[in-house]
Amino acid sequence: MGSIGLSAYGMTVAELVELASCADELGFDALWLGEHVFRPAGYGSEHPTTGTVQHHTTIVDTDTELTDPWIAHAAIAAVTSRIKLGTAVYVTALRHPLLTARATISVQQFSGGRVLFGVGSGWLEEEFAALGVPFRSRFSRTEECIDILRKSWSGAEFGHAGKHFTFEPLQVHPRPTPIPVVLGGNTPPALARAARLGDAWFASGTPTPDEAVELVTELRRLREEFGRSGDFPCYVRVATTDPDVLARYRANGIDDLVLWADTLWVGDSPEERRRNLTAAANLLGLRTLDDAVSR
């Protein structure tokens, strides 16, 4: 059974909470939040995904609203009951993984297990420089963070001696708190990392149906090469609610689709935004919360 989620970026926490509350009622599967910590003035870094349509031509602009996704998702969890809480993507290499573990466990526990931890290695070099994190080692740092996070989520006591982090035995949480790791990125190294380490994958940008098929086909080939099997959701952003276009993705086994929230959550008033999102949900055939309860 496929899913339809929403991807949001550049909104305030209050706007995200309002959006999530309505999306939860209407039956959208997940709300995926993008993130950057700040906008470096006059940055020159370029997003690594070439050839794929980018929804935001300038990803961190002077008027871009930036929010902490865990604070936003904690607020969202308080007013929703079933929508999943995703990050697309969280640059985990910018933080110590034990701090990330603490935040993710807290939101996972409070939300009743709805977190989808989407991870990216990062591309904005100036962001790394300001935080004192070596940019060139971000890939190995990301992999080490994932390893530490999974040990933190296990509920067990553990120590670590790695390339980037070393600490004596400790316990982050007294109980196991499993959280799926969704690795993002379309480049060959990113696809290989997702196939090798991830529980799922999230496409960067907004691939066309043909591009999405190529990416997912390569992921499936890589997973077979790494000897990995089982369920592996592939979340792909799409540019339209047109059922015929969505059917093209699903005809190729791409069942977990994500729409840009700012193309549907539009209007000058809360009522108008809700009407527009409701119209989209109806077109997509989503099950409202009332429908789900009555069945």
Tell me the whole-structure pTM to 2 decimals: 0.93
Q: What is the pLDDT of residue 255?
A: 95
> What are the DSSP E strand ranges found in the chain?
3-8, 30-33, 84-87, 90-91, 115-120, 158-161, 166-170, 181-184, 200-202, 234-238, 256-260
pLDDT tens digits for range 112-170: 999 999 999 999 999 999 999 999 999 999 999 999 999 999 999 999 999 999 999 99
Residue 50 has pLDDT above 60, yes or no: no
For strands 166-170 and 158-161, give the pairing: antiparallel
Q: What is the pLDDT of residue 5?
A: 98
Distance CA 167, CA 143 (A): 17
Strand partners, 90: 119
* Mutual angle of helices 209-225 and 243-251, in 10-degree steps: 20
Split at pLDDT 50, 70, 90, the class of 294 is low
Token pair listed for 114: 């709805």
Q: What is the pLDDT of residue 44?
A: 75
* Mutual angle of helices 138-153 and 188-197, in 10-degree steps: 20
- 194: buried, middle or exposed (CB in 10 Å: 19+, 13-18, 0-12)? buried
Q: What is the pLDDT of residue 42?
A: 82
Percent of the chain with pLDDT strictly greater than 70 = 93
Residue 76 has pLDDT above 90, yes or no: yes
Q: What is the pLDDT of residue 69?
A: 98
Q: DSSP letter at 239? A: S
Mean pLDDT of the chain, nearest integer = 93
pLDDT tens digits for range 205-243: 999 999 999 999 999 999 999 999 999 999 999 999 999
Distance CA 270, CA 137 (A): 44
CB 213 within 8 A of CB 231: no
Which residues have a Cβ under 8 Å from the Cβ of 57 and sit 6 or more positions away? none
Distance CA 194, CA 185 (A): 8
Q: What is the pLDDT of residue 290?
A: 66
Residue 172 has pLDDT above 60, yes or no: yes
